[in-house]
Amino acid sequence: MIRVHITTKGDEHVHVDGGPWTTSEVVRLSGVTSRTLRHYDAIGLLRPLGIGSGCQRSYGPAELLRLQEILVLRHLGLPLAEIAVALDSGTDRVTALRAHLDRLLAQRDQLDRLARTVADTLTALEGGTTMTADALYEGFDHRRYEQEARDRWGGPEVDHSAARWEAMTEDERRANVAEADAVNRELAELMTGGVPAEDQRTRALVARHHAWLSTFWVPDAATYRCVGAMYVEDTRFAATYDAVAPGLAGYLRDAISAHADQVA
């Protein structure tokens, strides 16, 4: 059991029963792979307590506590570079962990709302009842990334996109979501079938993707390439596409680039 004691200066003193822990023990405790631990060491994110004979790494209580925070921040969607900055910012661990807890609880509450929405949708589908458009999207936080979108793409574009969504009927919204799902599914089928990203069949689907995106905002060729890159570089988008089929985010990025080259 780990017991954390904080001095008046905010320095952590961690007392544990047992330890230090070998790499294999940390892998068992945390669920991370030994390769991940080596990578964290190589980039300076998590240094082992020591390295013994046979290059066997060992980890102490402070390293376990740091790894816990790394995993929490990864779960919250932060890239490793930002995690390194956060961990080395000088903020004491109690303050940092309280902030992480607040974010996790907020995320849990949003997931609870989304779960209720999905359950309500299933009930409506199975019972043949109807739902309002507001009920269909209850729990989705459309404002969460608004400022980020404004910084990236510009205020007028975000305003136009939001206004276009609000102007849609319930049927139009359903059709829009269904089209996005269909394009992703068909792209995944081509990718898993070994069809190159620049193939005409793939380009036809990317044209549909561009048309779907243009419902809200019409990107030029250069901006469309940036959108494709974002699908890979932003872990939130990458996770969404790769959940359809592993590697789909990169495949769509490459297909977008090939399509943009032809229409530029």
* pLDDT tens string 104-155: 777 777 677 777 777 877 887 777 777 666 666 666 655 554 555 555 545 5
Q: Count of residues for the chain?
A: 264
Distance, in Å, from the CA atom of 238 to the CA atom of 81, rounded to the nearest integer, reads 17
Q: Is the pTM of this model over 0.85?
A: no
Fold held by 142-263: Globin-like (1.10.490)
Domain 2-90 part of CATH 1.10.1660.10:
yes
* pLDDT tens string 194-221: 999 999 999 999 999 998 888 877 778 8
11-25, 126-140, 158-172, 233-247: which has the highest mean pLDDT?
Answer: 233-247
Residue 169 buriedness (CB in 10 A; 0-12 / 13-18 / 19+): exposed
What are the C-alpha distances in Å from 227 to residues 213, 219, 223? 10, 9, 6
Domain boundaries, the chain: 2-90, 92-141, 142-263
What pLDDT does residue 14 have? 53
What pLDDT does residue 158 have? 58
- Mean pLDDT of the residues in the chain: 78
Structure confidence at residue 164 as a pLDDT band (50, 70, 90): low
What pLDDT does residue 4 have? 43
Question: Kind of pairing, strands 57-59 and 21-22?
Answer: antiparallel
